[in-house]
Amino acid sequence: MSLNVDLNVRPDYDKLISDIAEYVYSYKVESKLALETAKNCLIDTVGCGLLALQFPACTKMLGPVVEGTSVPFGVRVPGTNYKLDPIKGAFDIGCTIRWLDFNDTWLAAEWGHPSDNLGAILSVSDYVSQKRVEEGGEPLLVRDVLHCMIIAHEIQGILALKNSFNRVGLDHVVLVKVASTAIATKLLGGDLNQIKDAISHAWVDGQSLRTYRHAPNAGSRKSWAAGDATSRAVRLAMIVMQGEMGYPGVLSAPTWGFEDISFNKKQLTLHQKLDSYVMENVLFKISFPAEFHAQTAVEAAVKLHPEIIDRLEEIETVNITTHESAIRIISKVGDLNNPADRDHCLQYMVAIGLLKGDLVAEDYEDDVAADPRIDKLRSKMVISEDKRYSAEYHEADKRSIANKIQIHFTDGSATEAIEVEYPIGHKRRREEGIPVLEKKFRKNLELTYKKEKADDIFNICINQNELENMSVIDFQQMLSLS
């Protein structure tokens, strides 16, 4: 009798893991546009974290796991007086960054928020810098942080171009974990093989389900999922730096690999060479703390506000023309149970824009949601897809996020159809968008710091050269309340 046995020949590393590791280990940033965009991304991301500190649901997640714990080389969490171990530091920074759904976005076959990786980057950079100084060395500079951001953005974004994790029910934070693990290992001093080992562990992990982002289970876990991914990334990097082995065939192993188990037996691919494309083309959420597929819809709604606010009882239908991804991810009817449910509902966000002529983070809270006019408007909304919008959403030279709104009244009249194809945070609107982004950052600074300090931080942060040459230790201390 013959028996089926496993052929125990250890393979070389999966090519995708090797390609990512070699990029992380050897890539040198040369793009001026990428560095300038990374600076804007850094200040915007930090500002999003500061704004989140205004919300108790976020702040209750922060601080040491055991109250009163003290650690050497403690990581500072911007806007707080915490000094944490690098794993919890990554969680807290990542949690604040993502809480309000207001940081940058990347839209492709998989969507996500590449600046989520700053949780790991800033935490490990702070820890490593303090340790270096203690040992007589030099700290990392903010320039190093920007370089790491460009690399992490690229890994997450290029993996997202053609690999759709949401279609197999997995959350996009798997890509945060992979990118953050790779860059955290590099920051901790890992060599090429250690980076490969660490990346393999990120894929071996069980990955988060998307259920907390969708009806009927949408909830606040989506606001700390990225912090969870970055903290796990730092933990995996530190395990590997202690000598733990990796798993070369984690993606491709028959029966037991990620592709067979979790990706419907499809092969993961890197659609293009890793460079600085993602950072150069990343989307900023500048005007509204809203899931990105709705940004242009809210902008259109705000434009319609003056025309319809005195005619609410006359509205017959609100026609929203959008793209396939928006319909699949954020179009929902029925009761909305919490802020996390509301900020992922296209109809709710449009209703707020129509009623208020704006949309702010507080508009997702229960007191605002109790306004009966919101659900009345939602009940009159008709959602339809424009195939051109859906196609241009995926086109590399466009990557539009188009929405159009037209309101019809009971007397047969209608508003103009307001179409917005590119949000203000899009690369095509950079010249218009950056001054608004800086205004957003200043406003968030003034929520946390006294005006004089807020002005000092702002002036340093908008100066590319001064910021790049600042040590990470000084940067973190500048943002700390301790």
pLDDT digits (tens, 9 = 90+) for 173-209: 999 999 999 999 999 999 999 999 999 999 999 999 9
238-259: b (≥16 Cβ within 10 Å) or e: bebbeeeebbbbbbbbeeebbb
Alpha-carbon distance of 415 to 393, in angstroms, equals 26
Q: What is the pLDDT of residue 3?
A: 56
Q: Taking all residues of the chain, what is their mean pLDDT, rounded to a whole number?
A: 95
Tokens of 246: 């990796």
Q: Which residues, 6+ apart, have CB-to-CB distance to 356 below 8 Å?
A: 305, 363
Cα–Cα distances (Å) from 442 to 89, 99, 262, 306, 422, in that order, read 24, 19, 43, 28, 24
Half-sphere exposure of 77 (CA within 13 A, CB side): 30
Q: What is the pLDDT of residue 101?
A: 86
pLDDT, one tens digit per residue, over 368-422 is: 999 999 999 999 999 999 999 999 998 888 889 999 999 999 999 999 999 999 9
DSSP, res 188: T
Q: What is the pLDDT of residue 1?
A: 43
- SS3 for 369? helix
Q: Kindly report whether the global pTM for this prediction surpasses the value 0.75.
A: yes
Alpha-carbon distance of 159 to 104, in angstroms, equals 17
Residue ranges, the chain, pLDDT below 70:
1-7
Tokens of 424: 């203000």
Cβ–Cβ under 8 Å, residues 84 and 136: no
Q: What is the pLDDT of residue 162?
A: 94
